[in-house]
Amino acid sequence: MDDSYQNNINQQGETYPTYGGGEYTYPYQTDYPPQEEEDAASDDTEGHDEDEQMYEGEYQGIPHPDEVKEARRAARREARMKARMAAEVEEETLPEQYESIMEDCGHGRFQWTLFTVLGLALMADGVECFVVSFALPSAEKDMCLSNADKGMLGLIVYVGMMIGAVLWGGLADKLGRRQCLLYALAINSIFSFLSCFAQGYGIFIFFRLCSGIGIGGSIPVVYTYYAEFLQMDKRGEHLSWLCLFWMLGGLPGLQKNSWDFFFFFFLEFQTARHDEAWMILKQVHDTNWRAKGEPERAFQVSQIKTPQTQDDEFIEIQSETGTAFQRFMVRQMTLVKQVMKNMMSLAAPDLRLHGLFIAIVWFTMAFSYYGLGAWFPDQIKYLQFEEYESNVKIFHREKVERFHFNFTLQNQVHKEGEYIHDRFINIEIRNVKFEESLFENCYFEDIRSTDTFFENCTLKNTVFYNTDLWEDSKFINCKLENTTFLHPKKGCHLNIQEENDTLIYLVSFLGSLSVLPGNIIAGLLMDKIGRLKIIGGSMLGSAGCTFFVLLCFSQWAVVLFHCLFFAASAAAWNGIEVVTVELYPTSKRATAFGVLNGTCKLAAIISTFIFGKFIGITKIIPIILSFSALVCGGLLAFKLRETREVILQ
């Protein structure tokens, strides 16, 4: 090898005298090199950038730093691409693997037990939706509710359910379906119990709001939970059968805290299960085949691939420096961020369009269903009132003296009459009005009145004993001379017929019962003709029923189309819920269902408020609004993605 120092001399083109002889010769140098040469060399290198200096190293076989960096970047890109491709392949195989496992587990005792347990939870939601219409007359009398207060009592439950649907749906994807369902029903149980003892209207409204927040999570969690234990070819049918429990919750005879039974069965059912996915599916497999008489059939799956969930795991504080409260707050804040992130991910490009379509279908269906559900009973009552008013009896300038009224006075108007030494004892006076009449030396005892008033009347030497005829509310511009009110009845006395309580019961009962044929049809056809045809056809059929209400002028005709509307709508609800479950992946399924169900309750609030404003004014606007919403939603439903043969992701 040539001497590097010698090569350096040769490259510079200069020679130095050598000292000594023989094989090794050394150039002669002075102790101190000339300063001018050092300065010249320094001047030669001054101004050269780093790249030019490294070029010499490159010439000697050393890679350029930029090339090293670029090679590293390329290696990282390639590694990320391979990891992404592997993750995509894994994500594609996970749903197929799970579907194969569920087919091997079969459909049997496990699913039917879960069906019953979750159905009881769903029944509680039906109770909350319908119980107000049954309890409202009693609450009216006990709490002196005005029309505005009655409307608020109905709306506050929907507000709570809207909040609860979004809240529990989002938490169910992070904390788990079973845990959130237990929490939600526990809250509903506690506040429903407390509302029984509420003495004032304000605290009663608060308890009903909290109860609604609790029960609001039942629909999103129940449907997502049950769907994940069903095979693809059975999802539509059995989710439709599950809807029958919601109908049962609307039947008055079953509205006695159905969630009490839920707690017993659900907790007992869960004691044999483990949190690990393999153990859960093995339990499903063994339960079903043992019930079918094949206990020796072994679970063939040795391990289950599970997706990476680092983003879904809580951040644990492992150090001992933080307090228990700090660790708790970090976990809760992390949970909130994860839930919000999951909600925002629903607007991802691959979900955005179909999510918008299904949200519109949810909204239009709920707008018509809940709006007309509240409008039909009120419209029937109004028609009954009109018919009642048309039969009013008018008495003009009658004179009654020393007569004992011991029979009911109903639907009468008395003008300019005279009542001298008359006795009204232990009778009911309903929808009676006395105008410009004279009562002298009369006696009223044990009177029960409804919608009864005295206007511009004169009362002399008259006694009211134990009656609900109040001086400050029942007597309008009247002249009272030596008139006495003894032991007046306390409490609220409403201007409403007693028959209306029975009418509300009957209409609500028939509406709930008419859902049965729609559920049966949806269950039988959901997996045969597809979800979209069920939704679109049902909504368009409901629109037709709504349109014919315009031609109804009797209360029983309205009752008939009220039942037809609910029967036609049931299939659409089943289809909407099934499509929602199948449209979203597991990590977003409950969140999406909760948001959409919250949209449903928002539509219920809006439509109930709007439709209530037109009672007694016109029926054209509510009918046109409902008809238009159902037609638009039904046509848009055909644009959704058919999910009949889609494997749950």
491 in a structural domain = no
Collapsing DSSP to helix, strand or coil, 113 comes out as helix
- Half-sphere exposure (CA, 13 Å, Cβ side) for 243? 29
Residues 289 and 395 in one domain: no
Residues 136 and 250 in one domain: yes
CATH number for the domain harbouring residue 473: 2.160.20.80
For the record, the structure tokens of 323 come out as 């307090």
* pTM, full prediction: 0.71
Residues 281 and 402 in one domain: no
Range of the structural domain that residue 437 is part of = 390-486
Domain boundary among 486, 517, 542: 486
434 in a structural domain = yes
Residue in the structure block whose two tokens are 């309890």: 135
By mean pLDDT, which of 68-82, 456-470, 595-609 is the weakest? Answer: 68-82
User: Residue 399's beta-bridge partner residues?
Assistant: 418
* Most confident option among 132-146, 273-287, 443-457: 443-457
- What are the tens digits of pLDDT across the range 523-574? 888 888 888 999 999 999 999 988 888 887 777 888 888 888 988 898 999 9
- The b/e string for 424-457 (b: 16+ C-beta within 10 A; e otherwise) is beebbbbbbbbbbbbbbebbbbebbbbbbbbeeb
Which residue, 250, 256, 306, 258, is CA-closest to 278? Answer: 306
Q: Please indicate whether residue 149 or residue 316 has the higher confidence score (pLDDT).
A: 149
Domain boundary among 295, 329, 363: 295
410: CB partners within 8 A, 6+ apart? 428, 429, 430, 431, 432
DSSP, residue by residue, 451-497: S-EEES-EEES-EEES-S--TTTTEES-EEES-EEESPPPS---SS-
- What are the tens digits of pLDDT across the range 177-197? 888 888 888 898 888 888 878
- Mean pLDDT across the stretch 470-492? 84
Cα distances (Å, whole numbers) of residue 569 to 245, 413, 601: 16, 44, 16
Confidence (pLDDT) at 602? 93
Q: Please indicate whether residue 312 or residue 136 has the higher confidence score (pLDDT).
A: 136
The pLDDT of residue 50 is above 50? no
Residue 603: pLDDT band with limits 50, 70, 90: very high
Confidence (pLDDT) at 127? 74
- Mean pLDDT across the stretch 153-177? 87
- Mean pLDDT across the stretch 188-210? 83
Domains held by the chain: number: 2
604 in a structural domain = no
For the record, the structure tokens of 126 come out as 């039906």
Residue 273: pLDDT band with limits 50, 70, 90: very low
214: CB partners within 8 A, 6+ apart? 160, 164, 184, 185, 186, 187, 188, 189, 190, 191
- Mean pLDDT across the stretch 416-440? 93
- Percent of the chain whose pLDDT exceeds 70: 72
The pLDDT of residue 418 is above 70? yes
Residues 284 and 145 in one domain: yes
For the record, the structure tokens of 21 come out as 């002889």
Residues 112 and 245 in one domain: yes
Domain boundary among 465, 486, 507: 486
Residues 287 and 396 in one domain: no
157 in a structural domain = yes
Residues 154 and 269 in one domain: yes
d(CA 466, CA 454): 18
446 in a structural domain = yes
End-to-end Cα spacing for the chain: 69
530 in a structural domain = no
262 in a structural domain = yes
534 in a structural domain = no
Cα distances (Å, whole numbers) of residue 156 to 128, 202, 601: 11, 11, 11
Q: Judging by DSSP bridges, how do beta strands 423-435 and 443-450 pair with one another?
A: parallel
Which residue, 351, 370, 362, 354, is CA-closest to 632? Answer: 362
Which residue, 96, 158, 531, is CA-closest to 367? Answer: 158
